[in-house]
Amino acid sequence: MSSVAVPQAQPRPGADWRRALRAVGSNFLLRRILKAILTIWFVTSLLFFLIRLMPSNPLEIYIQELMSQYSMSYQDARSQAASLFALDLDAPLWQQYVHYMSGLVRGDLGTSLRSQGTKVTDIIAKFLPWTLFSVGTALLISVIIGVGLGIVMAYRRDSWLDNVLSVFASISSSVPQFIFAVLIIVFGVRWKLLDFAALRGSTSPGIEPGFTFAFIKDIFYHAWLPIAVYVLTSIGTWMLSMRNNTLATLGEDYVTVARARGLRDTRIATSYVGRNAALPLVTSFALALAYSVGGSPVVEDTFKYVGLGYYLVQSVFQRDYSLMQGCFLVLTVAVVTANMITDLLYGVLDPRIRIGGGE
Amino acid sequence: MPVSNGKSSWPELANDVVLSVRDLSVDYQARRGLVKAARNVSFDLHRGESIALVGESGCGKTTLGLALVRLLVKQATIRNGQMLYQRGEKKMDVVELGQEELRQYRWAECAMVFQGAQNAFNPVLRIRDQMYDTVKAHQDSSKEEVRKRGMDLLRMVQLEPQRVIDAYPHELSGGMRQRVLIAMSLLLNPQILILDEPTTALDVITQRTIIEVLRRLKEELGFAMIFITHDLSVAAELADRVATMYAGRIIELGPVNEIFYRPAHPYSAGLIHAVPTVTGAYEELTSIEGSPPDLIDPPPGCKFHPRCGFATEVCRVDEPEGYGVGANHQAACHHWQTVRATLTEQRSQQRAERGLA
Amino acid sequence: MATATPSLERPSPLAPLNSLFSGIWSGVRLLGANRVGLLGLLGVTFFFILCFVMPLIIPLDDKVKIDQIYAAPSLLHPFGFDSQGKDVWTQIIHGGRTLILIAVGAAVLATLVGAALGAFSAVIGGRFDSALMALVDVWLTIPQLPLLIVLAAFIRVNDPWTLVFIMGLLSWAPLTRAVRSQVLSIKQRDFIEAARALDLGTSHIVFREVLPNMMSYISINFILAITYAMYFQTSLVFLGLVPLSGTNWGVMIRFAQTRGAIYSSDSFWYIMAPVLAIALFQLSLVALERGVAEVFNPRLRS
């Protein structure tokens, strides 16, 4: 128990909603969902105030731009900017806020400032899948290989293999993504291995989307460099944490008892050591995803892989604030959702966390 | 002294001996040198018999217990000795067993209940699944059969079978877990049960329950028992024979009444005096002065001589072998006769004083 | 009897500083005995000399030399020349200082904010504590690099101080949580009880008892905060979102990419030099961090 004493509520008027609140607070499922909603609300509010209230906020910059470029009057420019940002600038701030939030809840992210008339949601719908595909595939690969290697390192601890893999894992977990991306390009060029012009984009021009072998081969062909970078930069964390968890678990009493019970080594390694050592990793899943998604702007920009990260960078360069806001929100929502799912998954996998009741 | 360990040389064993430990020595590799944790330990365990291993912590009790199921840590090696096990036609030297034979021997022939069962169970599996795992590792059995057998055993250790069998370990209290582990240890009808401090870290009432449970189970199921304890009152209640260990050796072995009322080794005598007994509430409590010896660089001669009031020159030079001091009673002390005489005298003196008072 | 009573001397005002220095010294000695930590310490020392001492000795080569464009490495010019015929090695020497200073500055800020918030949260407790911890939870799930990219669009990062400020304020959350849980557990321990019973005063308790016991957490998180800041700022520079002028490892890679040198095999060493510098700098810090963690927490030593 934490040492912070929760003051006992006195029976008095207003205690009902407190009790209800506490009931929600002690319910694992509800608490996780509440946290996710809170995070998204926090990020959207942050964005709203950045766009609206910063001294050199994008709205003013855009209005100035319209005025100088198209010699519009301030009023015209202002109303055009307002419609593009989906804001009613004459309303009081709180109304704008409510309007903005209700728009978001309905899934309205406004229209792109640069490619006028295109809805931000349409752009996102088109390019988000590529980011999710590359990051997701990479995560799957790095978890499987990383956890496997971590187990090998633990069982062969202090061998040369363990030492070599530890050094590799340290490099993997500390060197920034763009360094790996640059290294791949530099060596690809030096050894004439890769055709970077052909690798650009997320598909080859003219390929027919569909559940065909040619298409699947093509998307992997275009995604494999980003995937490689994500794997290289996240696998080290999996290796090191699985190694340490396995070592800790091997020292647990129940492993000794399992051996005393005459269980087969394979059974002990999987259900007794492996499962308990891997369990805490479920929570790292969200962190790893956040790190890879966070790196997607850099990785996609370097390889010109056209996903959401690429568009985030482009929108910043083009001062396309509505698109930028949309890209950032969706990336955040993706991470928050993944976080929530892994939290819930942990509750299912570990019987010690009761889903229904309190801690 | 080293015994040849060929499987062909199976010595004659009495029919009712289930385990004969001969000249067993175990070393640990430590940074400072070799820790001689068990030195030439020999004893026979008979069918349905229970032996209590007593001694201070660090005397080698737990090492000996772990050696009997070959669960010693990596740094430990069995230097020499034999552990001859027999059950009907089945005869084997446990020291010589290969990995797979050893796996089959564990739990099915000799089960071990560990000290502090708090973490003895895999936290993510239900009790029934861990029981099924155990049975499945040794024989073909359906989940239903295992469940039924498990529930019978849980009932025997005075637990609610329906509730416990489907529970996760964290849903059970410490005392319950200890009893579940005892129930689980009997799943495969082992001939030997080793219990390492089965009642430590439990409250007094739970301790009582467990002692009762063990006593009943032993009567009903007839397994032999070796239990390791530093609590002599537990030994007095459960043991047929008591083995006192000191510095890796069994220094006295005899029937429980002999050891308690006519100890022949000054160390055993000291241990017994360190325990208040219900009947001897007036008797003076004397604890043994000094600390256990260094097992890497033990003193020469009798390892107990630096702490012994009876020690003479011979004790400093010559380590005593076991002397027969009574029926089925051995003690490794050069001066066992003096020890006994002194103790008897002290006791009659005390009785006289009490009579006067 | 009364004369023999030992007097409880008031510690001199410099005593905490002295104990800090002796603490650091014994820490360095322990690190020396730890293989990984020693490597990290050597690496960090190397970069300190490279970026803060060597620039005083070796001047930056900024003369354009047409005949030296992408000239191959030689003994005097270990990384060859760049697209304008300037020596790459001197650029490496001069190109780390700003990055490292910014990273350390951001880490100092993050550590101060994180430690203060964490300690306050634990001491005050109650609603403030729950609210702050909820905020920490929320903050940790926001993908940090995209947030920085977005911020860079709103806030013109024209000078290093802005970057220090933004990155410092971005990384407060992990340390806040760590310090809070540490303070909570230290509050429980016997020696704090004893200090309280002896009525040694809050400042004594905080500065002489609590803080020294948290130095391990704070120093580990400080080192990690430097690596985060390095990761963030070089990524931003690489994307071209921070218009940092002058010579700097990130800018070198950025130029290599925008000028297409990255796709030309002539420029191999020109690109490899800053890549290696950043990678090795990060690696040294992580090694140092692991060493420090093992020194402070013997259970990690296997």
Number of structural domains chain B divides into: 2
Q: What confidence category does residue A344 fall into, taking pLDDT thresholds of 50, 70 and 90?
A: confident
pLDDT of the residue at A25: 59
* Mean pLDDT of all residues belonging to chain C: 79
Q: Say if residue B311 is in the same domain as residue B199.
A: no
Taking residues C224-231, report their average pLDDT: 92
Q: Does C142 touch chain A (CB under 8 A)?
A: yes
Mean local confidence (pLDDT), A65-81: 79
Binary contact (C235, A35; C-beta < 8 A): no
Q: Do C146 and A331 touch (CB under 8 A)?
A: yes
Share of chain B above pLDDT 90, in %: 45
Q: Which chains touch B (3 or more CB pairs under 8 A)?
A: A
Query: Which residue would you say has higher pLDDT here, A128 or C66?
Result: A128
CB within 8 Å: C286 and A173? yes
Among chain B residues, the shortest Cα distance to A265 is held by: B103
pLDDT at A88: 63
Give yes or no for C188 touching A (CB within 8 A).
yes
Kindly state the percentage of chain A with pLDDT values over 90.
31
Which residues from C are below 8 Å from A174, CB to CB? Answer: 227, 282-283, 285-286
Q: Do the Cβ atoms of B196 and B228 come closer than 8 Å? A: yes
A250-279, pLDDT tens digit by residue?
A: 988 999 999 999 999 999 999 999 999 998
Could you tell me the two tokens for A331? 């990336």
Residues of A in contact with B108 (CB under 8 A): 262
Residue contact A196–C234, C-beta within 8 A: no
For residue C156, what is the nearest residue in chain A, using CA coordinates? A56
Does B147 lie at the interface with A, CB-CB under 8 angstroms?
A: no
In a mutagenesis test of the C interface, which of A186, A199, A325 is the best target, namely the one with the most C β-carbons within 10 Å? A186
Yes or no: say if A144 and A209 are a contact pair by the CB < 8 Å rule.
no
Q: What length does chain B have? A: 357
Check pLDDT > 90 for residue C104.
yes
CB-CB contact of A309 with C164 (8 Å):
no
Helices A28-53 and A58-70, axial angle in degrees (round to 10): 40
Burial class (CB in 10 A: 0-12, 13-18, 19+), B206: middle
The band of C4, judged by pLDDT with boundaries at 50, 70 and 90, is very low
Residues of A in contact with C135 (CB under 8 A): 42
- DSSP reduced 3-state for A210: coil
Lowest-confidence pick of A313-327, B124-138, B284-298: B284-298
Q: Does B226 touch chain A (CB under 8 A)?
A: no
pLDDT score of B144? 93
Give the pLDDT mean for A221-249: 93
Residue B175 shares a structural domain with residue B42: yes
Domain range for B331 is: 268-353
Give the pLDDT score at A89. 64
Residue A346 burial (CB count, 10 A): 19
| Closest residue in chain A to residue B185, using alpha carbons only | A261
In this structure, are B30 and B169 located in the same domain? Answer: yes
Does B333 score more than 50 pLDDT?
Answer: yes
- pLDDT at residue C181 above 80? yes
Residue with more model confidence, B192 or A75: B192
C/B touch flag: 3 or more CB pairs below 8 Å: no
> Is the predicted ipTM greater than 0.90, yes or no?
no
pLDDT, tens only, A131-190 = 999 999 999 999 999 999 999 999 998 899 999 999 999 999 889 999 999 998 888 877
Picking from B124, B165, B214, C280, the residue whose alpha carbon sits closest to that of residue A255 is B124
Verify whether the Cβ–Cβ distance A262 to B105 is below 8 Å.
yes
**Of the ranges A57-71, C75-89, C127-141, the best mean pLDDT one:** C127-141
Task: Find the residue in C nearest to A327 (Cα).
Answer: C146
Same domain? B125 vs B86: yes
Q: Per-residue confidence at C302, pLDDT binned at 50, 70, 90?
A: very low
φ, ψ of residue B251 in degrees (nearest 5): -100, -10
Interface of C with A in 227-266 (CB under 8 A): 227, 230-231, 234-235, 238-241, 253, 256-257, 262-265
In a shared domain, residues B137 and B63 = yes
Q: Do A253 and B134 touch (CB under 8 A)?
A: no
Q: Report the candidate in A349, A347, A352 with the shortest Cα–Cα distance to residue A32.
A: A347
The answer to which of A52-66, B296-310, C261-275 has the lowest mean pLDDT is: A52-66
Question: Was domain C77-300 assigned CATH 3.50.50.60?
Answer: no
| Beta bridge mates, B323 | B331
A242 against A89, higher pLDDT: A242
Order of all β-strands in the sheet with B17-29: B34-46, B17-29, B76-87, B90-93
Chains A and C lie in contact, requiring 3 or more CB pairs less than 8 Å apart: yes
- A21 falls in which pLDDT band (50, 70, 90)? low
Lowest mean pLDDT among C74-78, C134-138, C189-193, C282-286: C189-193
**Nearest residue in A to B170, CA atom:** A352
Q: What pLDDT is stored for residue A7 in this prediction? A: 45
Judged by CB atoms closer than 8 Å, whether chains meet at C146 and A293 is answered as yes
How confident is the model at residue A77, as a pLDDT?
80
- Model confidence at C6, pLDDT cuts 50, 70, 90, reads very low
> Nearest CA to CA, how far is C301 from chain A (Å)?
11
Query: Distance (Å, rounded) from C-alpha A267 to C-alpha B340?
Result: 54
Q: Which of A86, A247, A234 has its CA nearest to residue A151? A: A247
Say if CB C237 and CB C247 are below 8 A apart.
no
Distance CA C102, CA C104 (A): 6
Identify whether B112 is part of a domain.
yes
Size of interface A-C (CB pairs under 8 A): 144
Q: Are residues B48 and B192 in the same domain?
A: yes
Q: pLDDT class for C32, splitting at 50, 70, 90?
A: low
Contact flag A297-C149 (C-beta cutoff 8 Å): yes
**Confidence at residue A155, expressed as pLDDT on a 0 to 100 scale:** 93
At C142, is the pLDDT very low, low, confident or very high (cuts 50, 70, 90)?
A: confident
B252, part of any domain: no
pLDDT of residue B109: 93
Determine whether the interchain pair A275/B134 forms a contact, defined as Cβ–Cβ distance below 8 Å: no
Is B39 domain-assigned? yes
Of B292-301, C144-153, C244-253, the poorest mean pLDDT is in C244-253
CB contact under 8 A, C126 and A189: no
**Interchain CB distance below 8 Å, A185 and C262:** yes
Out of B116, B124, B181, whose CB is closest to A275? B124
Residue C12 confidence (pLDDT)? 54
A352 CB within 8 Å of a chain B CB: yes
Confidence of residue A235 (pLDDT cuts 50, 70, 90): very high
Phi, psi (rounded to 5 degrees) for A89:
-70, -15
CA distance C9 to chain A (A): 34
Q: CA B311: distance to chain centroid?
A: 28
**Chain-chain contact of A351 with B168 (C-beta, under 8 angstroms):** yes
Band (pLDDT 50/70/90 cuts) for residue A339 is: confident
Q: In 10 A of CB C175, how many CB atoms?
A: 27
- Mean pLDDT within B132-136: 94
Model confidence pLDDT, tens digit, residues B212-222: 889 999 888 88
Residues B178 and B54 in one domain: yes
CA closest to A5 among chain C residues: C126
Question: What are the structural domains of chain A?
Answer: 29-105 (no CATH), 121-354 (1.10.3720.10)
Of the partner residues A3, A35, A196, the one whose CB lies closest to the CB of residue C263 = A196
Considering only CB atoms, C143 lies closest to which of A4, A157, A332, namely: A332
Start-to-end CA distance of chain A, whole Å, equals 9
Residues B142 and B224 in one domain: yes
> Do B229 and B95 fall within a single domain?
yes
Question: Between C143, C188, C285, which is nearest A331 by CB?
Answer: C143
| Amino acid C281: pLDDT | 94
Quote the mean pLDDT of chain B: 86
pLDDT of residue A46: 84
Using the beta-carbon criterion (under 8 Å), do C153 and A313 form an inter-chain contact?
no
In this structure, the answer to whether residues B115 and B176 fall within a common structural domain is yes
Q: Quote helix, strand, coil % in chain C, to nearest 5.
A: 75, 0, 25
With CA atoms as reference, the chain B residue closest to A266 would be B137
Q: What is the pLDDT of residue A4?
A: 42
Asked if the Cβ–Cβ distance from C126 to A4 is below 8 Å, we say yes
Q: Which of C152, C256, C279 lies nearest to residue A175, judging by beta carbons?
A: C279
Element housing A234 (H / E) = helix A213-250
Q: Report pLDDT digits (tens) over B252-272.
A: 999 998 888 888 898 988 888
- pLDDT value at position A262? 92
Task: State yes or no: pLDDT of A298 exceeds 70.
Answer: yes
**Per-residue pLDDT for C238 more than 60?**
yes
Measure CB to CB from residue B106 to each of A261, A350, A352 and give the nearest one.
A261
**What CA–CA distance (Å, rounded) separates C172 from C117?**
9
The answer to whether C69 faces chain A, any CB pair under 8 Å, is: no
Last residue of a domain, one of B239, B260, B284: B239
CA A243 – CA A166 distance, rounded (Å): 9
Are the beta carbons of A272 and B122 separated by less than 8 Å?
A: yes
What percent of chain A is modeled with pLDDT above 70?
87
Query: Shortest CB distance from C263 goes to which of A39, A189, A290?
Result: A189
Query: With bands split at pLDDT 50, 70 and 90, how would you rate the model's confidence at A358?
Result: very low
DSSP states of B233-253: HHHHHH-SEEEEEETTEEEEE
Distance of alpha carbon A113 from alpha carbon A120, whole angstroms: 9
Residue A175: list chain C partners with CB under 8 A.
278-279, 282-283
Q: What is the pLDDT of residues A32-54, one digit of tens each?
A: 888 888 888 888 888 888 777 66
The answer to the question of residue B2 being in a domain is no
Q: Report the pLDDT value the prediction gives residue B4, as an integer from 0 to 100.
A: 42
The residue of chain B with its CA nearest to that of A264 is B137
Read off the pLDDT of residues B64-84 as tens digits, 9 standing for 90 and up. Answer: 999 999 999 888 999 999 999
User: Is residue B249 included in any domain, yes or no?
Assistant: no
Same-domain status, B278 and B214: no
